[in-house]
A and B are shown apart, each in its own frame.
Chain A
Amino acid sequence: AQSVTQPDIHITVSEGASLELRCNYSYGATPYLFWYVQSPGQGLQLLLKYFSGDTLVQGIKGFEAEFKRSQSSFNLRKPSVHWSDAAEYFCAVGAQAAGNKLTFGGGTRVLVKP
Chain B
Amino acid sequence: SAVISQKPSRDICQRGTSLTIQCQVDSQVTMMFWYRQQPGQSLTLIATANQGSEATYESGFVIDKFPISRPNLTFSTLTVSNMSPEDSSIYLCSVGSRSGNTIYFGEGSWLTVV
Contact = CB atoms under 8 A, between A and B. Distances in A.
Interface residues of B, number: 22
A10 to B, nearest CB: 12
Interface string A36-75: 0000000110100101100000000000000000000000
Given A44-B92, A49-B101, A103 B45 contact: yes
Contacts, number: 61
Contacts of B41: 106-107
Contacts of A103: 45
A95 interface: yes
Contacts of B94: 100-102
Classify the interface of chain B: helix, strand, loop or mixed: strand
A43 B103 contact: no
Contact of A49 (B45, B102, B105): B102
A90 B101 contact: no
Contacts of B82: none
Nearest to B100: A96
B45 A102 contact: yes
Nearest to B105: A44
B43 A100 contact: no
Contacts of A43: 92, 105-108
Given A43-B106, A43-B107, A43-B108, A96 B42 contact: no
Given A92-B43, A96-B96, A102-B103, 8 more contacts: A44-B92, A44-B105, A49-B102, A94-B96, A96-B99, A101-B94, A103-B45, A106-B41
